[in-house]
Amino acid sequence: MQVRLIHGRHALSPNPRSGGMADVYQARDMVDNQRQVAVKIFKHGQIETDILAESFKRETQALKELKHPGIVELIDSGEDKNTGEYFLVLEWMEKNLATFLKESPPEGWDSFWESVAYPVLEALAFSHNRNCIHRDIKPSNILIRAC
């Protein structure tokens, strides 16, 4: 089985999480000490080119401006020279909020507020103060760092 590389350095794992405009792969950065990352590849050829290009541009710009501990970090972005696909390389987040709450339910409101609700609201406020609105906040879209 041949490993698929994006940008000549990010080795993609099989079985991505698929969304409306992109697929997200767990990957290894072959140049940066096998660092685990997420690679989001926009669905080239399935969506009109100008819409795809604009979506990529907006998401990239938003992530560049949103440097906050509660917001996933953009590591790299671009257009793959071999495939022509737009991609984002993001820090890898092990779980989403839905999975986290199933596996580790909070002991009560105070625990939930401190560990989940308040950090999420801080990140949303930071984003909104910079006129960036997510538009699809739900537990499966809130990512949790490995503890």
Tokens matching residue 34: 């096998």
Among 69, 132, 70, 94, which Cα is nearest to 17's?
94
How far apart, in whole angstroms, are the C-alpha atoms of residue 143 and residue 72?
Answer: 8
Give me the active site residues, please.
136
How far apart, in whole angstroms, are the C-alpha atoms of residue 138 and residue 47?
Answer: 24
Determine how many CB atoms are found less than 10 A away from the CB of residue 136.
Answer: 9
Among 54, 61, 55, 7, which Cα is nearest to 29's?
7
- DSSP-derived pairing of the beta strands 35-42 and 74-79: unpaired
> At 52, which amino acid appears?
L
